[in-house]
Amino acid sequence: MGAGDVIGAGSLSGFHARSIADREGFWGELAALIDWQAPFERVLDYSRPPFTRWFVGGRTNLCHNAVDRHLAARRDQPALIYVSTETDDERVYSFGELHREVMRMAAIMRELGVRRGDRVLIYMPMIPEATFAMLACARIGAIHSVVFGGFASHSLASRIDDASPVLVVSADAGSRAGKVVPYKPLLDAAIDLARNRPANVLMVDRGLVPFERVAARDRDYAQLRERHLDAEVPVEWLESNEISYTLYTSGTTGVPKGVQRDVGGYAVALAASMKYIFCGNAGETYFSTSDIGWVVGHSYIVYGPLIAGMGTIMYEGTPLRPDAGILWKLVEKYRVTVMFSAPTAIRVLKKQDPSWLTRYDLSSLRTLFLAGEPLDEPTARWIGEALGKPIVDNYWQTETGWPILTVAHGVEKTPTRLGSPGMPMYGYDVRLLHEQTGEEVGTNEKGVVAIMPPLPPGCMQTVWGDDERFVKTYFSTIPGRLAYSTFDWGIRDEDGYYFILGRTDDVINVAGHRLGTREIEESLSSHPAVAECAVVGVADALKGQVAMAFVVLKDPSRAAADDARMALEGELMATVDKQLGAVARPSRVHFVTLLPKTRSGKVLRRSIQAICEARDPGDLTTIEDPGALEQLRRAVGLQA
Ligand code: PRX
C-alpha cells in the first residue's frame, strides 16, 4: 500500500464509513500525503467538544508542502501561471522561481517586523504578489487574512480592527472588465476608520493609477525586493494546530466572523481532496476561476493544487474578455486537466455563441468542478453536453475549507445526479435534522444540513478571538444535540443523494459571493434619510440571487416624485458601494412606509422574499399590519 492509500478505497460508502468509525486510523494514514518535520503524537484530540485538534504535536508547514517539497522533483516545472487579460500580462513561475519570490517576500515581511503569530492583512487584486504574500506568511508562521478586493472601506476597516494586523499588503489598483479599480484610497480610508492601525503598509505598484503615500507607513515592494533578492528564509516548523489564516465571512449578524484555520489538518485535508475528489496529479495544471479573497481561492487556487505539485492558474479577468472563449483558450494553452468554476460563470457563458466551447482543444481537461451556489439542472446539462466532460457539483463553505457533499471519483466512480452536489465526503458525518425537534428527518424530507462533530481536518478551528461565538453560532442552533449547523436546508433522496435548498439564515449568495443581508441593511441605515430597512435575497436567473432593499424614509415625501425617488435610490446604492463595495449593492431599492413585522417587532424577511419571488408569503397570523404586504406587492410590481 502506498502513502495515503486507505483501506476501503474502491467503495465510497466503505471509505466514508471507515472515516467515521475509525477517525484516527483513517486520517492517521492520510497524513502521509504531506511532509512532517516531526511526527504527531495523537491524530485527534477531542477532549473539549466541539473544539477539535488534529495531528497534535506534529510539526509541519504549509509553504514547505506547497513549494519547497517539490523542488527536488520539479524545480523547473510551472507552479504559478499568472494570466491577466486586464493588463495583458502572462507570467509563469516555476516551483524554483516561486520559492525565490516567496523567500524575498518573507524577508521583506521580517524586515517590516512581522513575527510568528502576527497577522498580515492582504487586500490585493489577482496578481502573483498576492500569492507570494500568502505563502510568505505561511512560511514564517504569520497569520494571513485576505480581504476580497471587491470590498470597500467599511468592510475593510472592520476586518482590520478584528485582525489587528501588523502589516497590510496591498496594491495601487485592480482592474475589472477593462476598468481600473483603485484600491489605495479605499485602504487609506479604511485605516483612518480603524482603531487598530497597522504599523506598515506594503504597496505593490502596478503602475495602473497614481496614489498617495503615507510617510513612514507605506513601503514600496519593488524597492524592498531589490534589497532581498538573495534572501534565504527557512520555513518555521509549526505545531499542527497553530493558526495558518483567518478569512472573514458573513453570517446572521452585521459583524463578519474570522474563520480560523490550522496548519496540519488543513494541509492533509487539501492533499486528500486533490487525490480523492479533484483527481489532480503532480505536473498537471489546475485552473480555478475564483479569487484569492474567497475560500475557493485559498484552497483551490493557492494551497491545494500546489500541495499536490500541480501548476495553478491565477487569472485576473472575466470569462468574456477579450471574448467568450478565453477560459477555454487557457485550458488549451496550459493543458489544464482540472478546472473549477462557479455556476454563475457558466450561466454567463450560456448567453454567448456556443461555438466558443468547441474552438479550442480541450482534450487535456478531465473534469469541470462547480461550487459556491446551487447548480441548476439546465446549466449543468448545457455545459456538460457542450464540453463533453463530466461536471461535478460540490457543496461546502468557508467554514469547512473543502467539499462536504460531492462525488469522490478518486475513490469510486459514483454517478453524478443533476441538481445534486452528491453525497457526504469522507470525514463528514452529515445528518439532516428537524429544525425544531433536532430529530433526523426521513428520505425526501426537508431538514437542516448538519455535521456531527468532531469536524474533519481542514475545517475551521474557531472564530478568531471568540471561542464563545464559535460554539454559539455553529453548535447551539439544533435543539437537544451538539451538531454543527451549515445553515442550509437540504433533502436526501432514496439513493442517498443530497439536494441543497437554500440558507436557513440571512446569508445570500450573489453570483457565488456570500453576503450578509444585515451588513447591507446597516450600510443603508447609515444614510441620514433612512429610518429603517430590510434587505432580502431574491431569485435571479443569472446571478442565482440578487439583493433587494426595502427602505422606510424618515420623511416619506422625499420619495414622492419620480426624479427624487430615483436620485435617492442612486444615493443609497452609492452608500453601499462606498462602504461595502459594489459586490453588495442592492439591485433595487424600493421605498415603502412600513415593513411587514410581527407584533413583537421582528421583520418578516422570509415573507418579503416570498412576495418578491411571487410565492405564497406563508403563515401571516402574527403580522402587525397586513397593509405592509400590499405596499410591498405594489413596490415590486405585483397586484395586491
Ligand atoms: O449556501 C451554501 C452555498 O454557499 C454557502 C457557502 O458559501 P461560502 O462560505 O462562500 O463557501 C463557498 C465554498 C464553495 C453554503 O452554505 N453553496 C456552496 N456550494 C454550493 C452551495 N449551494 C448549493 N450547491 C453548492 N454546490
What are the tens digits of pLDDT across the range 86-132?
999 999 999 999 999 999 999 999 999 999 999 999 999 999 999 99
Q: Rg of the chain over CA atoms, in angstroms?
A: 24
- pLDDT class for 221, splitting at 50, 70, 90? very high
* Ligand 1, atom 8, residue with closest C-alpha: 397
295 Cβ closer than 6 Å to some ligand 1 atom: yes
Grouping H, G, I as helix, E, B as strand and the rest as coil, residue 556 is helix
394 Cβ closer than 6 Å to some ligand 1 atom: yes
Mutational pocket test of ligand 1: of 298, 344, 396, 416, the residue with most ligand atoms within 8 Å of the beta carbon: 396
Report d(CA 512, CA 319) in Å as an integer. 14
| The amino acid at 586 | P
Of residues 291, 353, 289, 298, the one with CA closest to residue 327: 289
DSSP 598: B
**Do the beta carbons of residue 554 and residue 591 sit within 8 Å?**
no
Distance between Cα 403 and ligand 1 center (Å): 9
What is the per-residue pLDDT for 250?
A: 84
What is the per-residue pLDDT for 437?
A: 95
500 Cβ closer than 6 Å to some ligand 1 atom: yes
* Ligand 1, atom 24, residue with closest C-alpha: 374
Report d(CA 469, CA 463) in Å as an integer. 7
Predicted confidence (pLDDT) per residue in 266-298, tens digit: 999 999 999 999 999 999 999 999 999 999 999
Strand (E) or helix (H) holding 152 = none
395 Cβ closer than 6 Å to some ligand 1 atom: yes
Report d(CA 265, CA 60) in Å as an integer. 10
Cell of 178: 477593462
Cell of 170: 496591498
**What's the mean pLDDT in 292-314?**
98
* Ligand 1, atom 13, residue with closest C-alpha: 397
- Does residue 529 register a pLDDT over 80? yes
**Do the beta carbons of residue 296 and residue 394 sit within 8 Å?**
no
Report d(CA 298, CA 290) in Å as an integer. 9
Evaluated on CA atoms 361, 323, 123, 522, the torsion sign reads: negative
Q: Which of 281-285, 480-484, 597-601 has the lowest mean pLDDT?
A: 597-601
Cβ-based neighbours of 283, under 8 Å, separated by 6 or more? 74, 77, 309, 310
Q: Which of 40-49, 349-358, 456-465 has the lowest mean pLDDT?
A: 349-358
241 Cβ closer than 6 Å to some ligand 1 atom: no
Report d(CA 466, CA 485) in Å as an integer. 18
- Strand 588-592 versus strand 179-182 pairing type: unpaired
What is the per-residue pLDDT for 3?
A: 47
Measure Cα distances from 527 to 475, 489, 576 in Å.
35, 34, 10
421 Cβ closer than 6 Å to some ligand 1 atom: yes
508 Cβ closer than 6 Å to some ligand 1 atom: no
Cell of 184: 489605495
Mutational pocket test of ligand 1: of 300, 346, 395, the residue with most ligand atoms within 8 Å of the beta carbon: 395
- Does residue 70 register a pLDDT over 70? yes
Distance between Cα 397 and ligand 1 center (Å): 5
* Ligand 1, atom 21, residue with closest C-alpha: 373
Give the pTM: 0.94
What is the per-residue pLDDT for 2?
A: 47
Strand partners, 52: none
**What's the mean pLDDT in 67-82?**
98
Backbone angles phi, psi at 89, to 5 degrees: -115, 145
Work out which ligand 1 atom sits closest to the CA atom of 507.
Answer: 1
Distance between Cα 538 and ligand 1 center (Å): 16
Predicted confidence (pLDDT) per residue in 544-581, tens digit: 999 999 999 999 999 999 999 999 999 999 999 999 99
What is the per-residue pLDDT for 618?
A: 80
Grouping H, G, I as helix, E, B as strand and the rest as coil, residue 494 is coil
What is the per-residue pLDDT for 640?
A: 47
Average pLDDT, the chain: 95
Cβ-based neighbours of 447, under 8 Å, separated by 6 or more? 431, 432, 433, 434, 435, 440, 441, 489, 490, 491
416 Cβ closer than 6 Å to some ligand 1 atom: no
- Does residue 598 register a pLDDT over 90? no
Strand (E) or helix (H) holding 507 = strand 507-510
Cell of 4: 495515503
603 Cβ closer than 6 Å to some ligand 1 atom: no
What is the per-residue pLDDT for 7?
A: 56
- Does residue 1 register a pLDDT over 60? no
Distance between Cα 504 and ligand 1 center (Å): 13
**What's the mean pLDDT in 50-59?**
98
**What's the mean pLDDT in 138-152?**
96
Distance between Cα 49 and ligand 1 center (Å): 25
Q: Which of 26-40, 240-254, 327-341, 377-391 has the lowest mean pLDDT?
A: 240-254
Distance between Cα 426 and ligand 1 center (Å): 18
- pLDDT class for 374, splitting at 50, 70, 90? very high
Report d(CA 224, CA 325) in Å as an integer. 39
586 Cβ closer than 6 Å to some ligand 1 atom: no
Work out which ligand 1 atom sits closest to the CA atom of 399.
Answer: 9
Q: What percent of the chain has pLDDT over 90?
A: 90
